[in-house]
Structure 1
């Protein structure tokens, strides 16, 4: 399979869309599309995860500390630390979670 990540998912009005690319017992890779101002409320995960912004920009809050992450940048989400996300504009994000 060969695809351009920025074209592999469509941003939808006032929505968050996800597409699972790989799901394995030891982790998964999921592509997300967020419309502007869409968010995931603060939550935790027992696993480490890597977020890569494919297109757009987000504020990602980790343990109460906000980080602005832009196209082409990555940020690590540590396990068991609360985190939340807000799309500052229409955004495509790739999430890689390792179990």
Structure 2
């Protein structure tokens, strides 16, 4: 999808029952942009990444536990996940998000 065509972000990824669906939009050495659609009740268990990340919820509500603190993020809101901090994601209802990860490049 790396072209200059206009896309409707809500229609670019669809929900699937009892699943988490992901679609990579940009994949570069310096970072990625990925769309996710979580069905209600789905989750990503606690993990950490060596990259800074920003999540923008575009539909529904997601719950993010970052460093032991839980945040409820609604459509139109975003949250930053610092590198190397354990985090998890839970879908109390179905929701869609955009995940932007930026590589930490040491000079």
Superposition TM-score tier, normalisation by shorter sequence:
over 0.9
Deviations 1:19-72 (A, max 9, x none): 000000100000000000100000000000000001010110000000000000
Please provide the CA RMSD for this pair. 0.5
Counterpart among 90, 93, 96 of residue 94 in structure 2: 90
Q: Which has the higher strand share?
A: 1
Q: Provide structure 2 residue ranges, at least 5 long, that are not aligned to the other structure.
A: none
Query: Aligned runs of 1:1-99 on 2, under 5 Å?
Result: 1-99=5-103
User: How many residues of Structure 1 are paired with residues of Structure 2 in the alignment?
Assistant: 99
What displacement does 1:88 show?
1.4
